């Protein structure tokens, strides 16, 4: 089927751009001697996770939540890191179920009471439950402050059903900093503090072998940190207008990563001189006031065209030149990829203009 025959709104993944993005990140990490641990929170799609693994140089896949991890494990992903703490009895039960069906299920910890809960829950497991110490990159979301981390780690190592394997440090607040020098400086400052914790714990004889962190926005800087072992990049595989706005909105690119995923939309009303109405609104695109979706053709923005939010079901396309006809289709670069993908059931994979596959967004709704 040709991509123009598909019903809209729908998500289209351009195979060649997607493959390019995977290759680019794989190579960047490999040159720096690091591995990838791509984050599935971006795409919520086990098919994409499998593509990332088969692209190579991956040590596993990240999940934001335990229900996401469980869905990945059920889909056959063998090594999963849950990057948020798992704290309630029902979630811990699901964590154990995940550990039972995957080869490796790591979880981050930032609280001693939570660690005790996990330690108790892991009593009957055949192996110790592998954990990472979550460091707070001065952001205040999750994690232990750098200065408190050594004592916290010592307490964790005293828990006999847990196995402390390493540290996580993810500075989400820096990923979209516009000024590249500031992004580099701040990210390296924080990652060096994390590296110092890593070295100190190793020097105390704690056999840590994982130092994971970073996102698409700071990966190229963080790859210079010698102690870092793997990068948790997410958005790089599909990209979006928010990342493009950081660096190169004219080409909708960020460090050569391209918008591989777009939302196809159709003109449903054209009674005005300056704009037409399309069938993609807030239910198909996550609302970002400052970086609305961009109208694209073959990965490049259409100059002078703009999308404006027009309510739940609709968007306005302001055009230049000839007025678009009813039924005419356009593609939009996603405003913010993660929550936009989470609004859909499937991704249609396009190669040379033809529909070649449909990938279910099978982790959709897995939010606990
Ligand atoms: C813990 C963690 N790691 C990695 C990522 C991936 O970041 P990015 O999409 O900027 O690559 C995220 C995204 O929010 C995250 O929360």
Site residues for ligand 1, CB cut-off 6 Å? 39, 41-42, 83, 170, 172, 175, 215-217, 232-236
Ligand 1 center–CA 139 separation, angstroms = 14
Distance, in Å, from the CA atom of 33 to the CA atom of 57, rounded to the nearest integer, reads: 10
Residue 137 lies in a domain: yes
The separation between CA 23 and the C-alpha centre of its own chain, rounded to angstroms, equals 16
**Confidence at residue 16, expressed as pLDDT on a 0 to 100 scale:** 96
pLDDT digits (tens, 9 = 90+) for 100-144: 999 999 999 999 999 999 999 999 899 999 999 999 999 999 999
Residue ending a domain, among 187, 221, 238, is: 238
- The fraction of the chain above a pLDDT of 70, given in percent, is 100
**321 plus 270 within the same structural domain:** yes
Taking residues 73-84, what's their average pLDDT? 98
Q: What share of the chain is helix, strand, coil (3-state, %, to 5)?
A: 35, 25, 40
Nearest CA residue ID for atom 3, ligand 1: 232
Out of 110, 215, 233, 247, give the residue to mutate to test ligand 1, the one with the largest number of ligand atoms within 8 Å of its CB: 215
Does some domain include residue 366?
no
Three-class secondary structure assignment of 97-142: HHHHHCCEEEEEECCHHHHHHHHHHHHHCCCCEEEEEEECCCCCCC
Residues 257, 226 share a domain: no
Contacts of 52 by beta carbon, 8 Å cutoff, 6+ apart: 22, 36, 38, 58, 61, 237
Confidence category of residue 298, pLDDT binned at 50, 70, 90: confident
Sign of the alpha-carbon dihedral angle for 14, 76, 78, 121: positive
Give CA–CA dist 121/66, Å, rounded: 15
Q: For residue 333, give the nearest of 262, 237, 255 by alpha carbon.
A: 262
Q: How far apart are CA 148 and CA 146, in angstroms?
A: 6
| pLDDT class of 4 with cuts at 50, 70, 90 | confident
Q: Decide if 368 is inside a domain.
A: no
Q: What is the DSSP letter of 304?
A: T
348 and 232 share one domain: no
Same domain, 234 and 310: no
CB 296 within 8 A of CB 252: yes
Give residue for tokens 């006031």.
289
Q: How far is the CA of 92 from the centre of ligand 1 (A)?
A: 23
| Each residue's pLDDT tens digit, 308-343 | 999 999 999 999 999 999 999 999 999 999 999 999
| Residues 251 and 234 occupy one common structural domain | no
Q: Is residue 314 part of a domain?
A: yes
Same domain (yes/no): 261, 354: yes
Cα of 187 vs centre of ligand 1, distance in Å, is: 14
| CATH code for position 77 | 3.20.20.10
| Residue position matching structure tokens 């609302």 | 287
Give residue 363 CA to ligand 1 midpoint distance, Å: 16
Non-local CB neighbours of 313 within 8 Å, separated by 6+ positions? 279, 281, 282, 283
Q: Is residue 28 part of a domain?
A: yes
Q: Which of 181, 215, 238 is where one domain is finished?
A: 238
Q: How many CA atoms lie within 13 Å of 338's alpha carbon, on the beta-carbon side?
A: 15
Contact 18, 238 (CB under 8 A): yes
- Measured by CA distance, the residue closest to atom 2 of ligand 1 is 170
Which residue minimizes the CA distance to atom 14 of ligand 1? 172
Let me know whether 23 and 49 are in one domain.
yes
- pTM, rounded to two decimals: 0.97
The reply to whether 201 and 259 lie within a common domain is no
Which of 238, 273, 299 delimits the end of a domain? 238
Are residues 248 and 186 part of one domain?
no
13-71 pLDDT, tens digit each: 999 999 999 999 999 999 999 999 999 999 999 999 999 999 999 999 999 999 999 99
Same-domain status, 24 and 144:
yes
* pLDDT for the residue numbered 250: 85
What is the domain range of residue 225? 16-238
The reported pLDDT for the residue numbered 1 is 86
C-beta of residue 198 within 8 angstroms of C-beta of residue 212: no
Give how many domains the chain has, as a whole number: 2
3-state secondary structure of 168: strand
Give the mean model confidence (pLDDT) for residues 90-105: 97
Indicate whether 51 and 151 sit together in one domain.
yes
Confidence of residue 228 (pLDDT cuts 50, 70, 90): very high
Same domain, 111 and 247: no
């Amino acid at each position: 089927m040709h991509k123009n025959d598909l019903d809209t709104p729908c998500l289209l993944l351009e195979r060649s751009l997607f493959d390019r993005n995977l290759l680019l990140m794989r190579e960047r990490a490999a040159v720096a001697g690091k591995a990838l641990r791509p984050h599935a929170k971006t795409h919520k799609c086990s098919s994409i996770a499998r593509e990332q693994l088969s692209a190579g140089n991956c040590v596993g896949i990240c999940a934001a939540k335990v229900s996401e991890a469980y869905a990945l494990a059920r889909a056959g992903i063998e090594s999963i890191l849950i990057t948020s703490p798992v704290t309630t009895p029902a979630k811990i039960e699901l964590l154990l179920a995940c550990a039972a069906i995957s080869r490796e299920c790591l979880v981050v910890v930032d609280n001693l009471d939570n660690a005790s809960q996990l330690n108790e829950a892991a009593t009957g497991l055949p192996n110790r439950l592998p954990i990472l110490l979550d460091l707070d990159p001065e952001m205040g979301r999750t994690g232990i402050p750098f200065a408190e981390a050594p004592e916290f780690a010592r307490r964790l190592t005293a828990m006999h059903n847990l196995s402390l394997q390493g540290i996580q440090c993810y500075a989400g607040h820096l990923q979209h900093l516009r000024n590249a020098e500031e992004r580099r400086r701040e990210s390296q400052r924080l990652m060096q503090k994390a590296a110092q914790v890593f070295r100190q714990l190793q020097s105390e004889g704690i056999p840590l072998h994982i130092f994971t962190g970073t996102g698409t926005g700071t990966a190229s800087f963080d790859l210079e940190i010698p102690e870092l072992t793997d990068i948790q990049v997410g958005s790089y595989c599909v990209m979006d207008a928010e990342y493009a706005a950081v660096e190169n909105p004219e080409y909708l690119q960020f460090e050569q990563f391209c918008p591989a995923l777009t939302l196809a939309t159709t003109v449903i009303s054209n009674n005005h001189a300056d704009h037409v109405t399309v069938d993609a609104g807030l239910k198909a695109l996550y609302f970002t006031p400052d970086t609305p979706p961009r109208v694209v053709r073959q990965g490049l923005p259409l100059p002078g065209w703009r999308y404006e939010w027009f309510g739940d079901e609709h968007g306005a396309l302001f055009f230049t030149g000839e007025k678009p006809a009813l039924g005419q289709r356009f593609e939009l670069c996603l405003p913010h990829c993660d929550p936009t993908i989470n609004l859909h059931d499937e991704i249609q994979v396009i190669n040379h203009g033809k529909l070649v596959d449909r990938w279910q967004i099978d982790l959709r709704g897995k939010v606990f």
